[in-house]
């Protein structure tokens, strides 16, 4: 007998064998049990969540001669013939999506089944039907024969015509949880005699992204590689070309510390192990998402992050060190880089250049984004640089020997009122950084008196801290001003200054090229 894939061998035969989807299963089971079966259903959900399997169980149940609590008995004549006779017709709309196919279907549904009460039509990927095919199907759904049941399955319900949706009972299949998939994989391993670590099965369940079919396929693949050995977490990663999750912690730390050497070394490690660059970026983005969720929700994030204890500790540590703005920027940048890699022939070069580009910092006064996605030609970029030089840019102080100040400059040291605010700044800062996590950078800056009596200055060692406060039109600075006014009763204008040395801004083309990102395509040279 030929080998049967695990996802086919363990396809549910009854409603009770379904994993997850309790609400959907209960509703369908009760309809069979109490004889309240509808004429058209729409099953929606991502791949591998059980849409087709549920449809086939339901098709057997409605015709079963001896149903048990709404479940098919799988022993009677009609249950055994269900998928081998015309009682159940399965149509793939991806390849049979024309109006001619639906017209043939309309003619066929007029004939009553020779056995059983219903003739069940399962139309998979129904959103692939053409407009004319949908219109042809609509006529049948409006006036269906009493002996016909339609089950439409789709991963993209928004593409189904509203007139079709309104004539169907809609059931949404949710992603199966990692815990449910893990427990089912343990049962399958027990029945098949497969030795596997719990950590390995949990990792497979997480990779399946809510789809049981994908999880069983991955388990099947790993078992084929190590058929006489125990399946460990390291072996699963080796089979799938994945990397140890610790590397994502190290990569993120290298970005935050602007350590190009560590970054390039880790990329070398990824490619030396033969890992897939796209999967690497995708998994890293998922890791950063978990860090962002932990940063925002703190203790409440546990239910939204599915990972092992060791990785969770690393996620929480990095969440306390990075801001939401930084994490959001990293995730968005990796998404753009991933899109580039899909069409790139030299993936390693694109990956290295893209990640090194994240280490670059824009000068104070640049646009809101930490970096521009450099897809401009030289002809497009030069006018932007020229116009930028014409605009007034806040000066970044450069260290210089102290100058002797005259009597008129004593105000720069600050008035008594300003010094009083500076004395109270630690408590004001603590309140702000506690209530607004994205303003944690205030702990890395110091407050000074401004030149004017109604001005205060936040001074930072790095320009990136100033940039974060200036994002979104200065909303964060306004918030800081509001909090100072609330604490002191006086309104001050707050501005930011960086002690980081600005880049040279020469006027020739070579200077401009040195300032912009390395992935700019310099054409017409």
Indicate the angle between helix axes 99-108 and 131-142, nearest 10 degrees.
Answer: 20
Helix, strand, coil in percent for the chain, rounding step 5: 55, 10, 35
H helix intervals, 143-276 = 162-165, 178-192, 198-207, 212-225, 233-240, 246-256, 260-272
What is the pTM assigned to this prediction?
Answer: 0.59
Q: What is the mean pLDDT of the chain?
A: 79
pLDDT of 322 above 90: no
Per DSSP bridges, beta strands 445-449 and 455-460 are antiparallel
32-61 pLDDT, tens digit per residue, is 988 889 889 999 998 889 999 999 999 889
Q: Please, which residues have CB within 8 angstroms of residue 42's CB and are 6 or more apart in sequence?
A: 126, 152, 153, 154, 157, 160, 164, 165, 168, 169, 170, 171
The pLDDT of residue 117 is above 90: no
Contact present, 458 and 447 (Cβ < 8 Å)? yes
Please check whether residue 327 is in contact with residue 291, taking contact to mean a CB–CB distance below 8 angstroms. yes
Residue 509, pLDDT > 80, answer: no
Candidates 147, 140, 145; CA nearest to 115 is 147
DSSP 284-347: HHHHHHHHHHHHHHGGGGGGG----HHHHHHHHHHHHHS-HHHHHHHHHHHHHHHHHHTT-S-H
- pLDDT value at position 85? 61
Using the predicted structure, report yes or no on whether residue 512 has a pLDDT greater than 60: no
Is pLDDT above 90 for 216? yes
User: What is the distance between the alpha carbons of residues 177 and 188, in angstroms, rounded to a whole number?
Assistant: 17
The model's confidence at residue 503, banded by pLDDT at 50, 70 and 90, is: low
> Are the C-beta atoms of residues 91 and 122 closer than 8 Å to each other?
yes
Residue 108: per-residue pLDDT: 82
Share of residues in the chain with pLDDT > 70 (%): 81
pLDDT at 271: 86
Contact 54, 85 (CB under 8 A): no
Stretch 204-215: mean pLDDT: 88
pLDDT value of residue 524: 39
Which class for 210: exposed (0-12), middle (13-18), buried (19 or more C-beta within 10 A)? buried
Average pLDDT of 317-331?
88
Confidence of residue 119 (pLDDT cuts 50, 70, 90): confident
* Strand 88-92 with 119-124, pairing: parallel
CA angle 63, 67, 72 (to 5 degrees): 70
Domains of the chain: 6-172 (3.40.50.300), 178-240 (1.10.8.60), 246-364 (1.20.272.10), 407-498 (3.30.300.180)
Q: Please give the Cα distance from 40 to 150 (Å, whole number).
A: 5
- Condensed to tens digits (0 to 9), the pLDDT of residues 132-182 reads 888 888 888 888 888 889 999 999 999 888 888 888 999 999 989 888 999
Neighbours of 506 (CB within 10 A): 11
Average pLDDT over residues 447-474: 83
pLDDT of 75 over the 60 cut: yes
Rounded Cα gap, residues 64 and 78, in angstroms: 6
Of 77-86, 281-290, 409-418, which range is least confident? 409-418
Buried (b) or exposed (e) across 261-271, using 16+ Cβ within 10 A?
eebeebbeebe
Contact at 8 Å (CB) between 202 and 178? yes
Residues 289, 294: Cα–Cα separation, whole Å: 9
Helix (H) or strand (E) holding 151: strand 148-154
Greatest mean pLDDT among 25-39, 112-126, 234-248, 457-471 lies in 25-39
402 compared with 279, residue with greater pLDDT: 279
User: Phi, psi (5° rounding) for residue 172?
Assistant: -100, 120
Lowest-confidence region among 36-45, 261-270, 461-470 = 461-470
pLDDT, residue 356, reads: 87
Query: What does the alpha-carbon distance between residue 201 and residue 236 come to, in Å, rounded to a whole number?
Result: 9
**Which pLDDT score, from 0 to 100, does residue 188 have?**
93
Q: What is the pLDDT of residue 472?
A: 65
What confidence score (pLDDT) does residue 129 get?
86
Q: Is the pLDDT of residue 283 over 70?
A: yes
Which tokens in the block code for residue 316? 């929480």
């Amino acid at each position: 007998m030929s080998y049967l894939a695990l996802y086919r061998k363990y396809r549910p035969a009854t409603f009770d064998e379904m994993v997850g989807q309790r609400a959907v299963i209960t509703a369908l089971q009760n309809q069979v049990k109490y004889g309240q079966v509808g004429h058209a259903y729409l099953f929606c959900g991502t791949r591998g969540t059980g849409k087709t399997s549920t449809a086939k169980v339901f098709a057997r149940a409605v015709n079963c001669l001896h149903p048990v609590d709404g479940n098919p008995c799988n022993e009677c004549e009609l249950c055994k013939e269900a998928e081998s006779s015309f009682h159940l017709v399965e149509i793939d709309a991806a390849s049979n999506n024309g109006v001619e196919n639906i017209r043939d279907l309309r003619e066929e549904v007029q004939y009553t089944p020779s056995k059983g009460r219903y003739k069940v039509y399962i139309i998979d990927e129904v959103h692939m039907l053409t407009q004319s095919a949908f219109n042809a199907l609509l006529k049948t759904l409006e006036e269906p024969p009493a002996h016909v049941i339609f089950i439409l399955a789709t991963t993209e319900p928004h593409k189904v015509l509203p007139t079709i949706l309104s004539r169907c009972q809609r059931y949404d299949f949710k992603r199966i949880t990692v815990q449910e998939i893990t427990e089912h994989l343990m049962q399958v391993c027990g029945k098949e005699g497969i030795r596997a670590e719990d950590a390995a099965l949990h990792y497979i369940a997480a990779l399946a992204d809510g789809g049981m079919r994908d999880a069983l396929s991955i388990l099947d693949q790993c078992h084929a590689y190590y058929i006489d050995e125990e399946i460990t977490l390291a072996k699963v990663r080796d089979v799938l070309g994945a990397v140890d999750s610790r590397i994502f912690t190290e990569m993120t730390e290298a970005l935050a510390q602007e350590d190009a050497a560590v970054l390039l070394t880790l990329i070398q490690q990824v490619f030396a192990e033969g890992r897939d660059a796209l999967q690497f970026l995708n998994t890293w983005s998922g890791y950063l998402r978990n860090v962002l969720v932990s940063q925002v929700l703190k203790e409440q994030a546990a239910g939204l992050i599915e990972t092992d204890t060791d990785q969770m500790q690393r996620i929480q540590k990095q969440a306390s060190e990075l801001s939401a703005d930084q994490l959001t920027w990293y995730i968005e940048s990796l998404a753009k880089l991933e899109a580039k890699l899909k069409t790139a022939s030299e993936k390693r070069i694109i990956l290295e250049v893209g990640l090194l580009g994240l280490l670059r910092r824009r000068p104070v006064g640049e646009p809101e984004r930490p970096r521009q996605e450099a897809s401009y030609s030289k002809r497009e970029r030069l006018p932007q640089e020229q116009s930028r030089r014409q605009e007034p840019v806040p000066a970044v102080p450069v260290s210089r020997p102290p100058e002797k100040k005259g009597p008129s400059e004593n105000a720069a040291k600050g008035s008594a009122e300003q010094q009083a605010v500076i004395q109270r700044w630690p408590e004001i800062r603590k309140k702000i950084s506690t209530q607004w996590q994205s303003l944690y950078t205030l702990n890395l800056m110091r407050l000074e008196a401004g030149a004017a009596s109604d001005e205060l200055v936040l001074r930072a060692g790095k320009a990136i801290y100033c940039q974060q406060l200036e994002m979104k039109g200065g909303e964060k600075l306004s918030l800081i001003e509001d909090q100072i006014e609330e604490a002191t009763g006086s309104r001050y204008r707050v501005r930011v200054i960086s002690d980081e040395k600005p880049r040279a801004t020469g006027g020739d083309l070579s200077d401009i090229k040195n300032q912009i990102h390395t992935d700019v395509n310099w054409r017409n040279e």
